[in-house]
Amino acid sequence: MNAYIKKGIEKFYAKNFAEAMLQFALALSEDPKSKEARIGAILCDMAAQNEEQAMALFEYYILTKENGAEDCEDVMEEIINSVEEHSEKIAHLFTENDLEARINAENGIKYEDFMSLIKSRGSFKEAFEDIMFSTKVIISKKEDFVDFLSKLIDNGFIEMSLNYLESAITLFPNDEQLLSLIKKAQK
């Protein structure tokens, strides 16, 4: 194994993605066709957006490689391309124009508008009960989602918040904010 790649793997596991990227780049400068170095560099780049996902893919890659899987680099490139494609589609859902179209199509309101409704009604519970069967609250930021779930719990909508949390935790299994909200709801 190339010394740069070995060092890149060590740095990646230490979550020093900038240094790992440098090591994989040096490996690529020595051997531009190195699929191992290319995958390492791509996963370093991915870690900047989603560290958990990049770590999981990296560990999967290392395990399959250690177990002698044939063409594991090709399989990893397919997985990475698939993840990137899905990430782009998800990001596309949250662009402002698409958000407006979703709001109109789904009979919804933006979270910011819902917060204004809370202020005018004087309480989260009253505002939420006014819209809960007729209007969807469209949330596009994680911070707003966490805030919304916390308000659901604080206002007695425990079962509903747990349903949302159950779905969210499958996407972000180690997210500390979501885990603390689950504990809060279970009290």
Q: What is the DSSP string of 94-148?
A: TSHHHHHHHHHHTTEEEHHHHHHHHHHHS-HHHHHHHHTTT-EEE--SHHHHHHH
The reported pLDDT for the residue numbered 93 is 46
pLDDT digits (tens, 9 = 90+) for 36-53: 888 888 888 888 888 888
pTM over 0.75: no
Sequence spans of domains, the chain = 3-93, 96-186
Q: Predicted confidence band at 165 (pLDDT cuts at 50, 70, 90)?
A: confident
Mean pLDDT (the chain) is 80
